[in-house]
Chain A
Amino acid sequence: MTVNPELQGRVFEPTAPYLVGREKVREFARAVFAVNPINVDVQAARDAGYADIVAPPTFAIVVQEKTLAQLLAEPGSGIELSHVLHGEQRFSYTRPIVAGDELTATLTVTSVKALGGNAMVTAESQMTDAAGDHVVTATSVLVVRGDA
């Protein structure tokens, strides 16, 4: 099975809002060895001008994963998890994610390219807050191995 080239340009339905929990941020911060007080201590975050603790730069993957699940669940996509390698990842922030944010993510498949027997799929997830303002764009390049 090969990746369906018609996926290129496809925009998926926005995900249900994801509420960024303070304890989830702390749990994630600990898991990535974050030691900055602004990641875990509410007072330190407020002293630095934030409403609540700030998520580590890669936290957006937790929300982006909801959109990648949409892609994997898409009938006829030709993308199976067991054949997917994570090739590249990027996060571009307008502002940091803080506890209490409600994030909605919208996935666009910006590119599908054949590469030998494999395919490279670029999946870009735009995340906005409850006011509809952009927070972060998370982009993954997935390498989907062919069955050759």
Chain B
Amino acid sequence: MTAPHCDAPDFDALETGEVVAQAVYSLSRDSLVRYAGASGDFNAIHYRDDVAQSVGLPGVLAHGMLTMGLAVQPVVDWAGDPGRVVDYRVRFTKPVFVDPSDGAEVSVEAKIGALDVDARTARVDLTVRYGETTVLGRAQAQVRLD
């Protein structure tokens, strides 16, 4: 049996550098259309190759905000509650191109970057890769644990 989702990790047992979550996401063109509709971001470079190519890109790329949005999900699952993520920041450093037939795989590794004992908050540092390329810089989530 898995623990109830509201169970939080034990703050006092955490160690800096510890990997707390990992995940791989398969993006397809469908994922981009779904995110466009859900978010209201209908920039055509996220679903039309001709428009993407007209601005010098090889083809359609994922919304940076989709990559940011999915990259924090392993942290949410580890924390047990989306409300425990009190701060989340990223830099968008490289695009994720999504092939029309093969899609794209994005991997996420979440590691404890720092622990604030007084605030009982863990800074979780994310490494987000598309193939061998790191696509987000300084991706950090602050997670408050009771």
Please, which residue of chain A has its CB at the minimum distance from the CB of B90?
A89
Closest to B36 in A: A31
Are B76 and A50 within 8 A (Cβ)? Answer: no
Whether the Cβ atoms of B5 and A38 lie closer than 8 Å is yes
A66 to chain B, nearest CB (A): 9
Chain A interface size range: 35 or more
Q: Indicate whether B69 reaches chain A with its CB closer than 8 angstroms.
A: yes
Q: With both chains docked as a complex, state the minimum distance between the C-beta of B30 and any C-beta of chain A, in angstroms.
A: 11
Chain A residues near B73: list those with CB within 8 A: 32-36, 56
Any chain B CB within 8 A of the CB of A88? yes
Contact A57 B90 (CB under 8 A): no
The reply on B72 being an interface residue by CB < 8 A is yes
Q: What interface size band does chain B fall in?
A: 35 or more
Contact of A57 among B5, B25, B38, B82 (CB under 8 A): B82
Kindly supply a per-residue 1/0 record for chain A positions 46-61, scoring 1 wherever the CB is within 8 Å of any chain B CB and 0 otherwise. 0110100011111001
Interface: A92 (CB within 8 A): yes
Within 8 A of B (CB), among A72-100: 81-82, 85-93, 95-96
Interface check A28, CB cutoff 8 A: yes
Whether the pair A38, B90 counts as a contact (CB closer than 8 A) is no
Judge if A27 is at the interface, Cβ distance under 8 Å: yes
In chain B between 1 and 47, which residues have their CB closer than 8 angstroms to a CB of chain A?
A: 5-6, 25, 31, 34-35, 37-41, 43
Q: Which residues of the other chain, B, contact A35 by a CB distance below 8 angstroms?
A: 73, 77
- Give the Cβ gap from A121 to chain B, nearest Cβ, in Å: 15
- List residues of chain B with CB within 8 A of the CB of A55: 82
Contact B90 A36 (CB under 8 A): no
Contact A89 B92, beta carbon cutoff 8 Å = yes
Residues of chain A within 8 A of B98, CB atoms compared: none
